[in-house]
Amino acid sequence: MESFGERDVAGLQAYADELRATFMRIQDEGAELHAVAKAVQVTEKSRDGLISVTVGSRGELVRLDIDPRVYRRPDARGLADSITETVQRAAAKAQERIIEVFEPLIPSDQMRAHLDGDLEAVLARLADQMDGKF
């Protein structure tokens, strides 16, 4: 069985200290940042300006406005594609806004990996932190 060396213990202690400090900051600032993040809404217009969408902090559709001029060119597939693309752009901007909100507490690459559900990246960063690389 392999034992921890002094470097390993020092790295783990530094990581534990960093986690403790981060936890204290989250406890102090987290509720306010959470409220700010929860209130995020992004509005985006389609490239032709006929569609306007508003999404919430998780990218969920909150509002959809369609200019009546869209009926001048009946194209259901084109309309659906335009709505989808506009919602996706708005959701991406909302995600970037959430990352900005939490940046004082959580590094942007780590938050992005978390929001993307990239468990591999989150665990790799955790391993690097335990090794004292951050």
What is the number of alpha carbons within 13 Å of residue 78 lying toward its C-beta?
9
**Given this model, what pLDDT does residue 97 score?**
96
Per-residue model confidence as pLDDT tens digits over 63-75: 999 999 998 989 9
Domain segments of the chain as ranges: 1-39+103-134, 40-87
Give the separation between CA 44 and CA 94, rounded to whole angstroms. Answer: 10
* Closest CA relative to residue 7, chosen from 134, 133, 131, 127: 131
| In the predicted structure, residue 127 carries a pLDDT above the cut 80 | no
96: its two tokens: 């970037």
C-alpha 60: how far from its chain's center? 13
pLDDT band for 29, please (50, 70, 90 cuts): confident
Percentage of the chain beyond pLDDT 90 is: 47
Q: Which CATH superfamily is domain 40-87 in?
A: Nucleoid-associated protein YbaB-like domain (3.30.1310.10)
The identity of residue 12, as a single letter, is: L
pLDDT band for 30, please (50, 70, 90 cuts): confident
CB atoms within 10 A of CB 118: 15
**Given this model, what pLDDT does residue 23 score?**
79
**pTM for the model:** 0.73
Tell me if 79 sits within 8 A of 134, measured CB to CB.
no
- What is the pLDDT averaged over residues 33-60? 95
- What is the pLDDT averaged over residues 98-116? 87
Q: Helices in the chain by DSSP H: which ranges?
A: 6-38, 76-102, 108-116, 119-130
